[in-house]
Structure 1
Amino acid sequence: MMGLQGDTDIQWVSSIDSPEFDRFKYAVSHSSIIGLDAEWKPVVRPHQPTFPPVLLLQVACRLTTSSSCVVFLLDLSNEGDNNNNNNLLLVPSVYELLANVFLSPNILKLGFRFKQDLLYLSSTFQNASHSASAFHKVEPFMDIASIYSNHLQQQNKQSRRKTATKSLSSICHELLGFSLSKELQCSDWSLRPLTQAQMTYAALDALCLIHIFDVFQHRLLQQGAITEVDCSGLNIGLKQILREPTNSTGIFRTTYCEAVEMVRATILEYPQKLQEASLKKSSWGTIPMDYTLLQIVRKYGDKLILTESDGKPRTSKKKGKRKSFTCKEKQVASLDEWEGPPPWDCSLGGDGCPKFLCDVMVEGLAKHLRCVGIDAAVPYSKKPDTRELIDQAIKEKRVILTRDAKLLRHEYLLRNQIYRVKSLLKNDQLIEVIETFELKICEDQLMSRCTKCNGRFIQKPLSIEEAIEAAKGFQVIPNCLFDRNIEFWQCTDCNQLYWEGTQYHNAVQKFIDVCKITSTD
């Protein structure tokens, strides 16, 4: 155990035979709220894109019996011996316990844009041969980013213009009065033992989620959105701060010193039962939520579900040398010119097929690239942060296309994986990318990819009868097409149907003109 802001308790869990693991089992079964976060090392494999393995899972627990908090750091690295209990990934009871926690209706799970963490965590346990659908669902769940943007930020009438990329650190600064340092975010989490600074950073990322939720709950009580019940279980430090009159901004704020005292006041010594948990194994059982929390979950709770498409591309079990990247930002004066070669280059172990990742600023360019047969993906989430965009580009060996000059600050993406588009119009952007990357576009490539999802079409065209069958309950085929001898094509990924009608021929002619394609006939 080590100190965080004075009295925070951090438990390092690396073996199921340890007293820390017994305390972890007790804590999660006696907590109604937990905060979740994960750490991994950004890597790229030379032969096949993979998800990076999760090396550390942080679980912050608020004990129902005392309202005190403790943060457990679960070591998921491969440092332990695979033949004993030193490797938590290989112990079925660990997977079963986490699966129960993620699905328990009595535990509210908090995260900050946790979907990517869940995806990597699922992949990590799948590779450990536990389950083909490891951790595909978390319920009930609440995203702190969503809580802030939809509820807490709206309370500040004097707030600056809302931004979709508000970081956890800035949210903590606004609501709790102190900022989280992100200097260790991309440190090497595979090294053991972790430094005290790393453990402190990891613990705070999970712990702050619970305290931000406290602000949200307090706001709901003030607004009368939920009914207050007996709060005698709250320790005096947090209760006293929360009951202070709100300031003119309508947002709960404290100074740094007050924030430290809040953390100290809300995190007390373990109850005697938790200390005794190391001497005996407690059976799995959870305590029902109190009425106040239950109201919040029913009204604002959500669920996090991984779909089959989220898991693509599948992780590879082939071993290869890993290249690590330092997540350090660097100011760049001018990087307007492409220097290459791109990551798909055969000399770098690529397959020679151009692949791009278009951020939200050039989404229209993504559809144009698909229309000329180029693989152009978009971010997994609608509002990705920089880290998500980086990880997707690395694992899929794509070049990021953007108009955001700030992305060029990321040193480990400067070489061969990012390009700033200069043109404003979609047609001009398309020509710019084709010329910059020396892409070869022919008429046969046009309209060969799904503009909706970037998938490929089934190679054999469908007859009208096959198309009608494929469209049942999914898509409506206009009656005017039934008497015409046309071919239908279906996307292998999203099953969308296309046909060679007037719109198709107009689009083909448009891109022949834009790309100045010369017919080979």
Structure 2
Amino acid sequence: MSSKGCRKQDLGKGRTMDPSDGIHFVSSTDSPEFTRLNSALTRSSVIGLDAEWKPVRAHQPNFPTVLLLQIACRLDSQRSIVFLLDLSEILLPSIYHLLRDVFLSPHILKLGFRFKQDLLYLSSTFRSQGCDSGFDRVEPFLDIATIYSHLHHKQTTRKTKVTKSLSFICEELLGISLSKELQCSDWSRRPLTEDQRTYAAIDALCLIEIFNVFQLRVLKEGAFRNLIELDSSSLNIGLKQILREPNISTRILRTTFCDAVEMVRATTIEYPQRLHAEQGASLRKSSWDTLPMDYTLLQIVRGYSDKIVLTESDGKPRTSKKKGKRKSSTGFTCKEKRVDDIDEWRGPAPWDYLLGGDGFPKFLCDVMVEGLAKHLRCVGIDAAVPYSRKPETRELIDQAIKEKRVLLTRDAKLLKHEYLLGNQIYRVKSLLKNDQLIEVIETFQLKICEDQLMSRCTKCNGRFIQKPLSIEEAIEAAKGFQVIPNCLFDRNIEFWQCTDCNQLYWEGTQYHNAVQKFIDVCKISTA
């Protein structure tokens, strides 16, 4: 899904994740956007954090410079606002103390996804601009991976690492497809494109939406369920009056101590401050005042939050042991074989007639270029994906060799197995799917014509049956398997069925739009 396409996605119950009206680009501390950022931070008890930097070559000796910091502020349960801080334009010392106060504020729960690396790069970036101490801590902090584990009743320990991607978690919990195509785009170029801004904003906003799902689950299933059962009007009349009501007083007495404390909170506005004092929390005085967390959020922080702490060893960039020169067993120095040296396609491909092939190109797209597989299928090219969702390297190699396919990947680490795959591995350099498609077509000199377009099943890579189905045949084939929209019954259109998975396709508006798209992308002559 493109960045434009992910502006509005249904989150259920009429809610959408649409940052287009709530994105504020902050490039100066003198701007109205910066004033609004300060205001939003004073009213937000939950924020989502993310950062972007220019892609760098592997094993570079220094940390990359962070160019954009995204801060999504939850104003209330229904509204959030996103700020994009342009760190390439803002004088970093002018916002250093503000960010440090935010990272350490006990009144703000910080959300992130594997944010330690972002913090490390942020700290390095600010130190390079004269902020000597950088950032070494974020608390309270809650990782989205931890939220996912708790929602699935998994115990997270130091030895148990959650490997689900943010895209996977978004799709499972929110029902949206989070595109990562622009993650490695050039974030140093200005102005940023509209797609880049939207992509960056949604990366931070989705953290808030995932936390909302988690908070709702905690409230429904956790220690507060008895409290929720009470009518909300009861909370406004005070504890003394509630106890006089015979119908609900026994229910209150049966609640836990924590629930009863919440009743007390309804009668006094000083409760949160007293609670902090009783905990012995040392609250640092920041340059701005924030509202204390409400009781239920405070309980979530107590029960689930953690902190990020950078150590001295974290601040030292790790260099690859394989880089540069090394000593051989004979005592001579020899140069390591660089990835760049085996990055180009040398061929011939396994389908080449000279190698006994059938002349039909066949590819295997690993998980890093899975979207490319669908594009290749749309132009009629045989493009498979790994058998398993998280294949081991050996599985990929075996599948490519067995099916005589060229393995397409963006993972440079896979190229070290080039000695096993020979002429059956190629590293895709482009980032976007359309560009990747053109790159593969040109590299392997594929011949694409209009008749090939939409001739394969985009779902399973199967071929379509040679003869189209009539509407009656399509209805029969779809029974108990697929729903055909009623609006198609009165139209004279042809249906096609995949020979492998039996999926039905028809030549509707979506089909014709797709055909035209690939005619344009592949520059196919229709004359």
- Name the TM-score, length of structure 2 as normaliser: 0.47
- State the structure with more CA Rg: 2
Relative contact order higher in (CA < 8 Å, ≥ 6 apart): 1
- Name the TM-score, length of structure 1 as normaliser: 0.48
